[in-house]
């Protein structure tokens, strides 16, 4: 036992020695947390073993217990709910889809691993969210990937020491996501890519998964008393050790934590999914082995079921010889699930996994509830770990100091451009606006043959960005799911509250643009160190905004994740506040969905929603080098009124194409619509009032859409929108001549579609 398990001298350790232990053992625990552990073992008259100390560090990590964020989340986000929410307090949210079925959504970050090893870090991020969905009993049907990097053209000589170039990270992350998703046969069909210097020291890789299931098949992450625990999936190795404590600390320039990056195995994952779905009737409870590995899975399942457990680590199938018990216990090796099942089901359960050539091992059993539940771990019949559940699950919760920024926004002076043509073409080349076809085509977004509206859509060879993708998840139903991912860190950097609110507004706009109704949200909240008061101030304001929008719209957050410590010691700066949002919408019939590409010459174009001088954080200001300005506001009441009216006229057949107005403003929205339909357009900005032409073209005011209206239904459309009190103005019409012509008083713009398309489509071509 002394060869494989160490007793850590803790009871008489000084404060300095406690912190040295935390650092040396990669525990990422504070002095007060180490003191709590010391008191616990003093009361028991013994020192901890290394496996016990490592296990506590996993359970108490920021990543696992949300110790800095839980109170704020409970105040603003976890309190949102709806009658459709079936389960929102496990690894994935389960929400009603129809009378018989539910959809399942998980959304996670894999930031630090991707910064160290972009291919493996991103791939195993996908593997993790797929497991989250599968462990609820669902079939995965879609993957989503909001990604954030430094500028691709960033000079190598300006990189901080030890920081990888954004282009290398970008290429590696895209390859990791595409290879994993394509190999398991799940479409990666929604997402976003954003570039900003604030992400040079710490890229952000957020990944989501949506699944579908019968409500009757839901599996909870729970262990029941007097049952058997079975570990299924891949073997356990040294990859992924200290993954959650690594994610709960600042990312240093050195790569000492490379072993914390897990190694994915998508070829094993695909049959593993099939085996689990086939074995559902024999599964009492199940949890995937993600953060904290076997340690956290056993503890969390037993805590949910209020039962003890005895675990025998020598029964765990290993990748390599010589692994120490603590390594086996906390390893985050991929493609593994822990299943709780009745004793009489064990033989049939294991047979199913063996038929799929998947390892399944009985590693322990649960005990009866007695009010003093313990987890005991044995290795070769020796007791090496004994902790009360009440202690290990009584995780630290902090009320961190926070400093809310005083934000005084005002309109700024800037000159009108000398050449609107030059500005529009330059804007279309910006990496945050330009076509992401270079990325999208790496993903198989059509696998499973259920992607009705693709991430790029339009006439073949002329495709443009869709606002949201639409999936038809059930063979015998035309009911659909719409998916989008949104946030603009340029807004949140200037104004965390209105920037986060704008992310929800944009998610709603994108969903409605395809003819679906917003149904639920998921969030991945990416911030710097919670030990910085201004970071916690920004976090608080973003959460407050998300709660404000969710409550006012009646649309709940059903799943989410918090990722702190996203900053680099080499730069000393946190990332911009990045509360990325997944929007999930429901459309009653996918056959009546609306696409973004312009359809018919002579059809009129209308703008829904009034335009304001809101250019703070805009692509236009970024392009011309102007700082400050007013970040776009949003009124959920007005947004909801416009959404309801637009969905009604869509159902009436008045609207044939639609695009939300977001980054780049009206100018970019119109360019993308006509490019996808290979048509021209003539636009008259006079209908938008007295604002200057560049403000009308490039403002990013929220809650706005451009719609192409069926010419024969124009009067009906205007009457209905006016009756509902919604601002609409006719701004032009489509034409066969393939050019964009814009009038506004003395200003006139005339650009060929070919020039627009070349600027928009070739920004990533050099890669």
Confidence category of residue 628, pLDDT binned at 50, 70, 90: very high
Q: Is the pLDDT reported for residue 113 higher than 50?
A: yes
Q: Supply the DSSP symbol for 89.
A: S
pLDDT at 333: 92
- For the chain, the average pLDDT equals 94
pLDDT at 78: 87
- Whether the CA torsion 57, 59, 65, 67 is positive or negative: it is negative
pLDDT at 258: 52
pLDDT, tens digit, 9 for 90 and up, residues 150-190: 999 999 999 988 889 999 999 999 999 999 999 999 999 99
Tokens of 160: 């901080």
- Separation between Cα atoms, residue 58 and residue 244, nearest integer Å: 6
Q: HEC profile for 65-79?
A: HCCCCHHHHHHHCCC
pLDDT at 250: 60
For the segment 663-685, the average pLDDT, to the nearest whole number, is 97
Query: Is 63 one of the catalytic residues?
Result: yes
For the segment 131-138, the average pLDDT, to the nearest whole number, is 95
At which residue do the structure tokens 């972009």 appear?
Answer: 118
CB-side neighbour CA atoms (13 Å) of 705: 32
**686-718: buried (b, 16+ CB within 10 Å) or exposed (e) per residue?**
eebeeeebbbbbbbbbbbbbbbbbbeebbeebb
Tokens of 461: 């060879």
Tokens of 193: 């890519």
pLDDT, tens digit, 9 for 90 and up, residues 277-305: 999 999 999 999 988 899 999 999 999 99
Angle, CA of 759, 765 and 766, to the nearest 5° = 120
Whether the model clears a pTM of 0.85, i.e. scores above it, the answer is yes
For the segment 678-706, the average pLDDT, to the nearest whole number, is 96
pLDDT at 85: 85
Give the domains, in start order, of the chain with CATH numbers: 420-554+590-761 (3.90.650.10)
- Separation between Cα atoms, residue 341 and residue 229, nearest integer Å: 7
Q: Is the pLDDT reported for residue 667 higher than 60?
A: yes
pLDDT, tens digit, 9 for 90 and up, residues 342-398: 999 999 999 999 999 999 999 999 998 888 899 999 999 999 999 999 999 999 999
pLDDT at 767: 39
Tokens of 225: 């008393």
For the segment 591-603, the average pLDDT, to the nearest whole number, is 97
pLDDT at 264: 76
Q: Is the pLDDT reported for residue 243 higher than 80?
A: no
Tokens of 181: 């998703």
Q: Where are the alpha helices (DSSP H) in 683-741?
A: 693-698, 714-723
Tokens of 136: 């609820």
Question: 192 forms bridges with which residues in the sheet?
Answer: 146
Residue % of the chain over a pLDDT of 70: 96
Question: In 3D, which of 84, 125, 209, 111 has the Cα closest to residue 557?
Answer: 84
Chain centre to alpha carbon of residue 146: 6
From the candidates 26, 63, 112, 659, give the one annotated as an active-site residue.
63
pLDDT at 7: 94
Angle, CA of 439, 445 and 450, to the nearest 5° = 160
For the segment 523-544, the average pLDDT, to the nearest whole number, is 97
For the segment 246-255, the average pLDDT, to the nearest whole number, is 52
From the candidates 26, 101, 110, 312, give the one annotated as an active-site residue.
110
Question: In 3D, which of 144, 660, 190, 92 has the Cα closest to residue 452?
Answer: 190
- The three-class DSSP label of residue 648 is helix
pLDDT at 326: 96
For the segment 205-219, the average pLDDT, to the nearest whole number, is 97
Residues 6+ apart with CB under 8 A from 299: 55, 59, 375, 389, 392, 393
Q: Is the pLDDT reported for residue 491 higher than 70?
A: yes
> Any idea how long the chain is?
767
pLDDT at 766: 44
Q: Is the pLDDT reported for residue 570 higher than 80?
A: no
Tokens of 277: 């779905």
pLDDT at 265: 85
Q: Is the pLDDT reported for residue 441 higher than 70?
A: yes
pLDDT at 745: 82
CB-side neighbour CA atoms (13 Å) of 82: 20
pLDDT at 249: 55
Edge-first strand listing for the sheet containing 578-587: 451-453, 469-471, 480-486, 578-587, 517-526, 557-563
For the segment 192-216, the average pLDDT, to the nearest whole number, is 96
Q: Is the pLDDT reported for residue 260 higher than 60?
A: no
Query: Is 110 one of the catalytic residues?
Result: yes
Residues 6+ apart with CB under 8 A from 60: 29, 33, 67, 395, 396
The answer to whether the CB of 454 falls within 8 A of the CB of 446 is: yes
Angle, CA of 344, 345 and 349, to the nearest 5° = 150
Torsions phi, psi for 722 (to 5 deg): -65, -40
pLDDT, tens digit, 9 for 90 and up, residues 396-407: 999 999 999 999
pLDDT at 569: 64
Q: Is the pLDDT reported for residue 587 higher than 60?
A: yes
- Separation between Cα atoms, residue 532 and residue 539, nearest integer Å: 11
CB-side neighbour CA atoms (13 Å) of 577: 27
């Amino acid at each position: 036992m002394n060869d494989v398990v160490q007793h850590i001298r803790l009871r008489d350790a000084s404060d300095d020695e406690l912190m040295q232990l935390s650092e040396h053992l990669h525990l990422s625990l504070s002095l007060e947390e180490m003191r709590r552990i010391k008191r616990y073992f003093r009361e028991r008259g013994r020192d901890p073993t290394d496996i016990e100390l490592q296990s506590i560090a996993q359970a108490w990590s920021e990543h696992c217990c949300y110790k800095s964020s839980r109170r704020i989340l409970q105040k603003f986000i976890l309190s949102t709910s709806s009658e459709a929410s079936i389960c929102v307090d496990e690894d994935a949210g389960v929400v009603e889809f129809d009378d018989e079925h539910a959809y399942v959504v998980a959304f996670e970050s894999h930031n630090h691993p991707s910064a160290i090893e972009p291919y493996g870090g991103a791939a195993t991020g996908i593997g993790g969210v797929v497991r989250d969905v599968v462990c609820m009993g669902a079939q995965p049907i879609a993957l989503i990937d909001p990604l954030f990097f430094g500028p691709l053209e960033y000079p190598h000589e300006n990189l901080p020491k030890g920081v990888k170039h954004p282009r290398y990270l970008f290429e590696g992350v895209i390859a990791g996501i595409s290879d994993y998703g394509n190999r398991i046969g799940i479409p990666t069909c929604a997402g976003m890519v954003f570039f900003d210097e604030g992400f040079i020291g710490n890229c952000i890789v957020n990944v989501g998964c949506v699944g579908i299931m019968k409500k009757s098949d839901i599996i909870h992450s729970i262990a029941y008393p007097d049952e058997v625990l079975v570990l299924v999936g891949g073997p356990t190795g040294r990859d992924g050790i200290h993954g959650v404590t690594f994610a709960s600390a600042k990312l240093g320039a050195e790569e000492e934590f490379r072993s914390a990056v897990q190694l994915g195995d998508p070829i094993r994952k695909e049959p593993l999914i099939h085996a689990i779905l086939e074995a559902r009737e024999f599964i009492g409870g199940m949890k995937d082995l993600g953060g904290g590995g076997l340690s956290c899975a056993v503890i969390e399942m037993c805590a949910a079921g209020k039962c003890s457990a005895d675990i025998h680590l020598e029964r765990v199938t290993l990748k390599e010889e010589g692994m120490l018990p603590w390594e086996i216990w906390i390893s985050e090796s991929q493609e593994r699930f822990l299943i709780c099942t009745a004793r009489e089901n064990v033989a049939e359960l294991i047979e199913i996994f063996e038929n799929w050539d998947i390892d399944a091992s009985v590693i322990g059993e649960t005990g009866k509830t007695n009010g003093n539940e313990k987890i005991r771990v044995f290795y070769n019949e020796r007791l090496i770990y004994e902790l009360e559940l009440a202690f290990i699950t009584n995780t630290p919760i902090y009320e961190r100091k926070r400093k809310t920024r005083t934000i005084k926004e005002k309109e700024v002076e800037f000159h009108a451009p000398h050449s609107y043509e030059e500005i529009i073409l330059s804007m279309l080349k910006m990496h945050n606006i330009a076509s992401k076809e270079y990325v999208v085509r790496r993903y198989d977004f059509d696998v499973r043959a259920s992607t009705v509206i693709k991430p790029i859509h339009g006439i073949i060879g002329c495709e443009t960005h869709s606002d949201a993708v639409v999936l038809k998840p059930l063979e015998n139903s035309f009911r659909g799911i719409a998916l989008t991912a949104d946030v603009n860190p340029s807004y949140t950097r200037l104004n965390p509250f209105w920037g986060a609110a704008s992310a929800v507004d944009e998610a709603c706009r994108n969903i409605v643009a395809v003819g679906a109704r917003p149904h639920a949200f998921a969030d991945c909240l990416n911030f710097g160190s919670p030990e910085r008061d201004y970071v916690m101030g920004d976090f608080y304001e973003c959460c407050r905004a998300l709660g404000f929008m969710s409550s006012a719209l009646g649309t709940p957050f059903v799943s989410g994740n918090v990722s702190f410590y996203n900053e680099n010691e080499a730069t000393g700066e946190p990332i911009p506040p990045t509360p990325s949002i997944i929007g999930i919408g429901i459309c009653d019939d996918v056959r009546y969905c609306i696409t973004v590409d312009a359809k018919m010459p002579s059809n009129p174009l209308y703008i829904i929603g009034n335009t304001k001088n809101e250019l703070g954080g805009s692509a236009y200001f970024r392009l011309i080098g102007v700082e400050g300005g007013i970040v776009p506001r949003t009124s959920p009441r007005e947004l909801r009124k416009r959404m309801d009216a637009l969905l009604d006229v869509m159902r009436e057949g008045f609207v044939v194409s639609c695009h939300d107005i977001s980054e780049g403003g009206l100018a970019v929205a119109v360019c993308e619509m006509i490019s996808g339909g290979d048509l021209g357009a003539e636009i008259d900005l006079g209908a938008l009032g007295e604002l200057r032409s560049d403000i009308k073209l490039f403002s990013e005011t929220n809650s706005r859409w451009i719609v192409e209206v069926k010419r024969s239904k124009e009067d009906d459309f205007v009457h209905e929108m006016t009756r509902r009190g919604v601002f609409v103005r006719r701004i032009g019409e489509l034409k066969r001549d393939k050019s964009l012509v814009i009038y506004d008083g003395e200003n006139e713009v005339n650009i060929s579609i070919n020039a627009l398309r070349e600027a928009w489509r070739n920004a990533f071509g050099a890669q």
